[in-house]
Structure 1
Amino acid sequence: MGKTNFKLSLLAGALVMAMQPSVQAQEQHNCTKDEKCNDYLVVTGDVMREPVNVVSDPKKPRLPLPAFEGSGFLKTIPGFSVTRKGGMGGDPSFRGMGGSRLAIVDDGQHVYGACGGRMDPPTNYIYPESYDEITVIKGPQTVKYGPVGSAGTVLFEKNRHRFTERGIIGRASITGGSFDRKDSIIEFVAGNADYYVDFDMDSSSSDHYKDGNDNPVQSSYDRDNIKVALGWTPSENTVIEFAMGQSEGEAEYADRLNKARQIDNESYTLLVQHDFDSELLKNVDFQVYSNENDHIMDQFDRGVNMGMDVMRSTSGGHFWLGLTPMMNWDLTLGVDHMQSDHQGRGINMMQDKGLDDLLRKPFMKNMEYANWGLFVESVYHLDHSKVFAGMRYDNWDTDLYVGQKGNRADDVFSGYARYEYRDGFSQYYAGVGHAERVPDYWEIMKTSASNPMQKSFDLEPEETNQLDIGWIYDNGLVFSSSLFYGKLDNYILVDSTGPMTVARNIDATLYGGEASIDYDVNEHFSAQVTLSYTLGDNDTDNVDLGQVSPLESKFSLNYQKDAWAAGLLWRVVDSQHRVTIGHGNIVGQDLAESSGFGTVAINASWNYDDHLRLILGVENLFDIAYAEHISKAAGGNDLPGSEPMFQVNESGRNFWAKLTYEF
């Protein structure tokens, strides 16, 4: 689908849906009597309100500027940082751990980027507002969702639907901002007692932004997404859904000369869910999926004869069986499978020329792997407490077709146990988790530390052993805290201090946590304060662990009365002196010590009625020039009029407006 036609269709669809009368329909997940179905609060951050879980509603109005990709959304959650490369392709990191240490699950699918330089991390393909719920599970405290995320697991989830009568519900929104930012989305669910269709289409684009020094930063992007799910509800207990998705994009980055001419994705899923009317059998969940990323990067527009086309194909599925062996014991048994292969093609600079020659070249396979996983996860309910536990076994078979070539087989084990106790208005928890992770594609493709002629195919699996504890208090004032201490054996470090970038195993320690206070001052004003801090040690080399973000705090004040609401967010980030130049991960390495900074964002919203809402906002109100500590080097920022910068700076003052219509 061409981009111009896509945007015209999106605009036309939004107008048509805006003129439709509102029809009441019932979904599978309804608001309870204690919830507001139309909550107009301006959200300035999502914090933990239940042990190890942060649950967010991405459709709520929020500050800062609503994110057009998953990494920007996660940045609003305490503990997360994002590596800035340009306007698109940000790589999220949680508690100093990014890349494959953070499991990103896209409505049941595992989607991996294709680019060897991380132009397209998994969150690149996710438009947060099109999802119904986003959940962050901190640390290795689940074994259910495929290969375990040692840092944590992020679930981007869509609801399944059930209508009692024929109807349609949905929403449309448009966003405009500085630097020619344009976002639009139309989504609706229509159906009857037997069938439904869930449709969403979104588009986002921006020109190059300017930093606080009025310096142009190469950061333009253009991205379109469309998803359609067809559901069949043959009974009250059964949902069968087939879904298709397509994503098209292009982008330029400030940290490299290569342009992402194409960042495309296609996906297909089949889901079957059934609830049993049985004392023992609770439910069954079966899903299969397939997705493919096709990414072209080149410098043809710069007059440089250099280009590559890489492709990542991933397929898999899971089968989960929910059991209730005893009245107070819930058990989930599961098996899952995933197979992924990476291939690429590039031009011969002496014989080929331009994009047409690149597209005529054959693809050559680089690496492929297959994973089988078995797990059991349980919850035991006591009078005032719960005991969670899980165990998982993974079998990996990996083939390398470049470098020294070869095959490796890995058997890894993960597990956790957590105790939660509720006493009045307080919840306490303590958990231990163990996660084993095999080296990913990007780590293997680095140079071997023992042989500069080979790939890092001999890396040992990484092992994380972590303690998580926390306290949540909720009685008018909500206070939540989570602390962790992790020992990582065979941590996979990416080291660029020598003549070649190598990947090698070390032992490391990470510790820190997050805390927050939410307080309703009165019926109109509420305030929130969050704090996050992680420290990391490279125990093998006796230096600081690379790519760990500094101490960060956020202060927000919200106001709401009748149809009006407003919010202010003050973000303060400390300087970072705990660095080791050249040490890091697959996303980037430490460049230097960094200075602290503070930014202010404000917004205001007005609800015309229960359907129409307008939000106005300003980011970086005082036009501060700053860069995140884990930002990439600005080696590709050569726009006309641009002054040299060491790192990729964040955007300067940014005005935006968003109009939303719900029906």
Structure 2
Amino acid sequence: MFLYKNLAIPVLATTIFSPFCFAQSTPASGDNDKQPAIERILVTGEQVEDPTRVSSDPKKPRLPLPAYDGAGFLKTIPGFSIGRKGGAGGDPTLRGLGGSRLSIVDDGQHVYGTCGGRMDPPTAYIYPEAYDNITVIKGPQTVKYGPVGSAGTVLFEKNRHRFEEADTEGRASITGGSFDRQDYLVELKAGNSDHYIDMDINQSSSDHFQDGDGNAVQSSYDRQNYNVALGWTPSDETVVELAYGRSSGEAEYADRANKAREINNENLTFLVQSDFDGELLQSLEFQAYSNENDHIMDQFDQGVNSGSNVRRATMGAHLWADLSLSDSLNLTLGVDYMDSKHEGRKIDPSVDNGLDDLLSKPFNDNMHYQNSGLFVESELLLSQGKLLAGVRLDYWQTELMLAQGGNRTDELFSGYTRYELSSGNSQYFAGVGHAQRMPDYWEIMKADVDNISNKAFDLAPEKTSQLDIGWLYQGKIDISTSLFYGVISDYILIDANSNKTSAYNIDATVYGGEIAATFPISEHWSSQTSVSYSHGDNDTANTPLGQIPPLEGRLTLDYQYQQWSAGLLWRLVAAQDRVAIGEGNISGQDLAASSSFGTLSINASWKHQESILVSLGVENLFDITYAEHISRSGAGNDIPGSSPMFQVNEPGRTAWVKMDYTF
């Protein structure tokens, strides 16, 4: 198979690019020479350009197939893995650490899922293309954005700006692909120097996909989102915005019998941002938000009288102040608050029957979180380089309202320090971070290992201490390296090996990193490569840590000529034989050792002036059948045309085309 792929790449490249190469050797007309150059389709995600940070424009075309949700987008960034359970609701993992170890911030909001089986992780409510920037902060190297993500923090952000004069701008995109994939997005911004309106509406749907053997995988979904923001801009330095958003959807999964009849979210935010000319105070930001998720899962359509409805309401606010103490020292001071309550109701088969009975039942409270945080971050400019540091204190109050019940309070500390040095074309960084993490809803709802009739309410907070180092080089060849070594005390392990899945604390060690390089081959040809690796050990049991992704490499070959571009992506994933069967995290547990695989994808695009961009691609070109190591069991795959699967297989050959129009 590998020999076949090695031979196929140059042959396929010659076939695809020969028309472009011919065009290159033919004298171009003056009009063609004036056509704007087109940016290549992104196929390995952006490289690290700032220490510990990867920033990406989600509106740019990219492989794989334009992402339906936040997890699908993160999959394009080296270091991320996505636990597939169907076509929607994938759970992101960074460097083998998933669940609430990865903090997802949705334009300033913390939006948590509701489903006990993770049908709706926070990224399920995010349509990436509707955002202006996505930033990944790797490791515990910030304390600013609420409870610290020990694996990292992902910021999905939207821009605010003042119109100088009355104007209207917008964009629209439409995508079609295999398995009846259909997406559309419409964005509109209009305003004048005093006011603006910013709105978007999008929809994405797909039928069940097929794997490389033609087996149907239960994976259909349909989702709609709309957002509207009204802004007041009394000056160039100040913006006041009130925003409302709503999303609704449904989905089926191959790893379970339950169908997600509803996965809904409604949110409201109020934002004030202002810059100042004072010697001390540079800027202030205040944001308050409220959101609620409503999720119905059932088997009514299969004739089974089983169903439940869960909701989670979260409200919060933050106040940040940027201060300049001197020409070399800047501080950010902040306070934040969050209140999150989970409740649910379910069918009692002995007295209830069907959806109407479910919806008529009262909700019962399950768990209530309250979190108050105080932090300071600093940046000190030195004669050579700069020193960054931050500390954060969190005060948690948690109430369990079912099983044994109970209340607990926790005071947690997190912090980091990082040194950055620029020298010539190189930038070096080294940082040490520490994050203390409260057990999340899904961990606490597992059984207590010492008494399986109780919930795991007495889990100790998880404590991660991690070293992050790296080297960035920008020149004719761009290189980025990011390495980490972490020691985790009281790591919260999910163990599904007994009759009832339990959660308990262990000690663990993780290490690995990512290396990427972009280099030109000629005037029109370039290439990019990346390698990511993670290693995890359960130090308590002296065994591998579960749910650690294998070594992965990506290699691209890109071509650009005037308004045309094309490319290849070859993705190679090694086997993973370091497993802990039945152990892992809230996103999933190891099922077995996994085999290596390689996939090849192709893409092309054409741009007309600055307004129209047409892009297309074919993924898994050779239609191989494979599953990622981090994947859910395929035990629930039960639709016509399907066959039993050990794991949820990835899609077979998938073709798509996308058109963007900017006005």
Q: TM-score, normalised by structure 2?
A: 0.94
Distance 1:394 1:39 in 2: 47
State the Cα deviation string for residues 216-243 of structure 1 (Å, max 9, x = none): 0000000000000111000111000010
Paired position in structure 1 for 2:23: none
Q: Are 2:223 and 1:223 equivalent residues in the alignment?
A: yes
Kindly tell me: are residues 417 and 88 of structure 1, through their superposed partners in 2, closer, same or farther at Cα, counting changes over 3 Å? same
Paired position in structure 2 for 1:406: 406
Deviation at 1:38, TM superposition (A): 8.2
* Matched letter for residue 305 of structure 1: N
Q: Are 2:201 and 1:201 equivalent residues in the alignment?
A: yes
Q: Indicate the SS of the match to 1:454.
A: strand
State the Cα deviation string for residues 329-366 of structure 1 (Å, max 9, x = none): 11000000000000000011011000000000000000
Q: Is the 8 A contact 1:172 1:660 kept in 2?
A: yes
Q: Are 2:609 and 1:609 equivalent residues in the alignment?
A: yes
Paired position in structure 2 for 1:346: 346
Paired position in structure 2 for 1:92: 92
State the Cα deviation string for residues 172-197 of structure 1 (Å, max 9, x = none): 01000000000000002111000111
Q: Indicate the SS of the match to 1:475.
A: coil
Paired position in structure 1 for 2:48: 48
Q: How does 1:574-593 map to 2 (within 5 A)?
A: 574-593=574-593
* Matched letter for residue 340 of structure 1: S
Deviation at 1:383, TM superposition (A): 3.8
Q: Is the 8 A contact 1:82 1:93 kept in 2?
A: yes
Q: Are 2:379 and 1:379 equivalent residues in the alignment?
A: yes
Q: How does 1:429-444 map to 2 (within 5 A)?
A: 429-444=429-444
Deviation at 1:641, TM superposition (A): 2.2
Distance 1:70 1:608 in 2: 29
Q: Is the 8 A contact 1:605 1:615 kept in 2?
A: yes
Q: Indicate the SS of the match to 1:452.
A: strand
Deviation at 1:496, TM superposition (A): 1.0
Distance 2:181 2:391 in 1: 46
Distance 2:323 2:332 in 1: 6
* Matched letter for residue 327 of structure 1: D
Distance 1:566 1:370 in 2: 50
Deviation at 1:608, TM superposition (A): 2.3
Unaligned runs of 5+ in 2: 1-34
Paired position in structure 1 for 2:656: 656
Paired position in structure 1 for 2:151: 151
Root-mean-square deviation (Å) = 1.0
Q: How does 1:65-464 map to 2 (within 5 A)?
A: 65-464=65-464
Distance 1:373 1:616 in 2: 46
Deviation at 1:499, TM superposition (A): 1.9
Paired position in structure 2 for 1:640: 640
Q: Is the 8 A contact 2:429 2:471 kept in 1?
A: yes
Q: Is the 8 A contact 1:599 1:620 kept in 2?
A: yes
* Matched letter for residue 271 of structure 2: L
State the Cα deviation string for residues 586-616 of structure 1 (Å, max 9, x = none): 0110000000111111111111221011111
Distance 1:641 1:322 in 2: 59
Q: Indicate the SS of the match to 1:356.
A: helix
Distance 2:417 2:38 in 1: 36
Q: Indicate the SS of the match to 1:358.
A: helix
Distance 1:613 1:534 in 2: 37
State the Cα deviation string for residues 389-419 of structure 1 (Å, max 9, x = none): 0000000000000110010000000000000
Paired position in structure 2 for 1:543: 543
Paired position in structure 2 for 1:560: 560
Deviation at 1:39, TM superposition (A): 5.2
Q: In the comparison of the two structures, how many residue pairs are matched? A: 628
Q: Is the 8 A contact 1:63 1:567 kept in 2?
A: no
Distance 1:236 1:508 in 2: 50
Query: Percent identity over the alignment?
Result: 63
Q: Is the 8 A contact 1:39 1:60 kept in 2?
A: no
Distance 2:562 2:384 in 1: 39
Kindly tell me: are residues 93 and 507 of structure 1, through their superposed partners in 2, closer, same or farther at Cα, counting changes over 3 Å? same
* Matched letter for residue 234 of structure 1: P
State the Cα deviation string for residues 495-516 of structure 1 (Å, max 9, x = none): 1112211000000000000000
Deviation at 1:384, TM superposition (A): 3.6
State the Cα deviation string for residues 137-184 of structure 1 (Å, max 9, x = none): 000000000000000000000001111011111110100000000000
Distance 1:275 1:622 in 2: 54
Distance 2:391 2:523 in 1: 46
Distance 2:184 2:171 in 1: 11
* Matched letter for residue 442 of structure 1: W
Paired position in structure 1 for 2:472: 472
Distance 2:167 2:524 in 1: 35
Paired position in structure 1 for 2:498: 498
Deviation at 1:381, TM superposition (A): 1.4
Unaligned runs of 5+ in 1: 1-35
Distance 2:501 2:313 in 1: 26
State the Cα deviation string for residues 59-88 of structure 1 (Å, max 9, x = none): 111122110100000000000000000000
Distance 2:384 2:524 in 1: 34
Q: TM-score, normalised by structure 1?
A: 0.94
* Matched letter for residue 479 of structure 1: I
* Matched letter for residue 339 of structure 1: D
Deviation at 1:279, TM superposition (A): 1.1
Q: Is the 8 A contact 1:38 1:610 kept in 2?
A: no
Distance 2:326 2:598 in 1: 53
Distance 2:462 2:242 in 1: 36
Q: Is the 8 A contact 2:444 2:455 kept in 1?
A: yes
Q: Is the 8 A contact 2:38 2:607 kept in 1?
A: no
Paired position in structure 2 for 1:13: none
Paired position in structure 2 for 1:524: 524
* Matched letter for residue 529 of structure 1: T
Paired position in structure 2 for 1:18: none
* Matched letter for residue 338 of structure 1: M
Deviation at 1:249, TM superposition (A): 0.2
Distance 1:114 1:124 in 2: 11
Distance 2:65 2:590 in 1: 28
Q: Is the 8 A contact 1:42 1:63 kept in 2?
A: yes
Kindly tell me: are residues 48 and 37 of structure 1, through their superposed partners in 2, closer, same or farther at Cα, counting changes over 3 Å? farther
Q: Indicate the SS of the match to 2:286.
A: strand
Q: Indicate the SS of the match to 2:451.
A: coil
* Matched letter for residue 456 of structure 2: S
* Matched letter for residue 198 of structure 1: D
Q: Is the 8 A contact 2:308 2:345 kept in 1?
A: yes
Distance 1:46 1:68 in 2: 19
Q: Indicate the SS of the match to 1:648.
A: coil
Distance 1:384 1:612 in 2: 46
Distance 2:605 2:580 in 1: 44
